[in-house]
Structure 1
Amino acid sequence: MEILRLKELMNQKGISREELANKVGVSMTTISNINSEKNLPTINLLLQIAKALDVDIREMFLPTKGSSITQNEVDQAKRLFEKGLNVLNGVIE
């Protein structure tokens, strides 16, 4: 199971990689790498993507019906948030 539901949400909203990339100001490669989890987005980029998809950021992490989240996936999501918070704290402090 993927950490992010980006691909699924893009399909639901009928938004292509190119369209999403243009809306958030990144390359299509960046969106592809996020979809394939080669790269994880920053918290700021996640917020921009959620806004572009018109979803609450929490929806990007919620499992779909009938799926479950493993402890490893929970740990990965926690690390992603902690990394983002550390970046934000470094900028604010």
Structure 2
Amino acid sequence: MEILRLKELMTQKGMSREDLASKVGVSMTTISNINSEKNLPTIHLLLQIAEALDVDIREMFIPTKGTAVSQMEIDEAKKLLEKSLKVLNGNKN
């Protein structure tokens, strides 16, 4: 299961990796690594991506319209947010 819906949202918005990378000021490699979940974005970058895609940040993790959300999806989203907050606060463990 994918943690982030970045690829799906980019497709819905008709935005390429190059377009998104340019809008948020990162390399296409960074976007590719986030798409493939090799790297996870910081909260700051995640907010920039959500803004560039014109979506609520919650939609980056789970659909917010018309879809039931499983507890497993909620738990995965919480883990990602907790990890991102630790990195943002300088604690990488």
Give the TM-score band, short-chain normalised: 0.7 to 0.9
Structure 2: where are the runs of 5+ without partners?
Answer: none
Q: Which runs of 5+ in 1 are unaligned?
A: none
The 1-side partners of 2:33 and 2:54 are apart by 21
3-state SS, counterpart of residue 78 of structure 2: helix
In the alignment, what sits opposite 2:31? 31
Shift of 1:80: 1.7
RMSD after superposition: 2.2
Residues 41-73 of structure 1, C-alpha deviations (whole Å, 9 max, x = no match)? 0110000000000000001111597786573x5
**Residue by residue, what CA displacement relative to the aligned partner does 1:13-58 show, whole Å, maximum 9, x if unpaired?**
0000000000000000000000000001011000000000000000
Q: Give the percent of matched residue pairs that are identical in Structure 1 and Structure 2.
A: 76
2:86 maps to what in 1?
Answer: 86
Report the AA paired with residue 80 of structure 2: L
User: Aligned in 2, Cα 1:83/1:66: closer, same or farther, shift over 3 Å?
Assistant: closer
Between 1:4-13 and 1:77-86, the stretch displaced more is: 77-86
TM-score (norm 1): 0.79
- Aligned match of 1:62: 62
Partners of 2:46 and 2:30 lie apart in 1 by 12
Pick the structure with more helix per residue. Answer: 1
Query: Are residues 1:20 and 2:17 paired?
Result: no
